[in-house]
Structure 1
């Protein structure tokens, strides 16, 4: 059996640790999660004219959160 050595794992761990706490990385992940939620909301929205389904939007990530919303006037009525 051959012997081998792996080096650089400490440096890799340090870089990954910095990325984990990076606001830029967190915002990118939040934006992706927001887009997935918008897609799911669209899929679950009943369709008559398509206006309600097509009006789902999300905000840009800010302070660790993203908001998914629908401004269609009758959205609350359809929900309830």
Structure 2
């Protein structure tokens, strides 16, 4: 049986406000949207593909670009 837990995270105040506005526009609670995003992220990582932003051995990509991609959810179906 699943048990709900509380998470505390630090996010930019403006981002938090825009997130709540976007969720409200979709008539969804913010926790539902976060749950969906987390499940999609975990599923993508579990596929073994490494998802976007994974750094394989010998990967020559720019680490700054990698960090931007990870923070920006650029390859996430919910992001840019």
The structure that has the greater radius of gyration is: 1
TM-score, normalised via structure 2 length: 0.30
Larger fraction in strand: 1
* Larger RCO, structures 1/2 (Cα 8 Å, 6+ apart): 1
TM-score, normalised via structure 1 length: 0.30
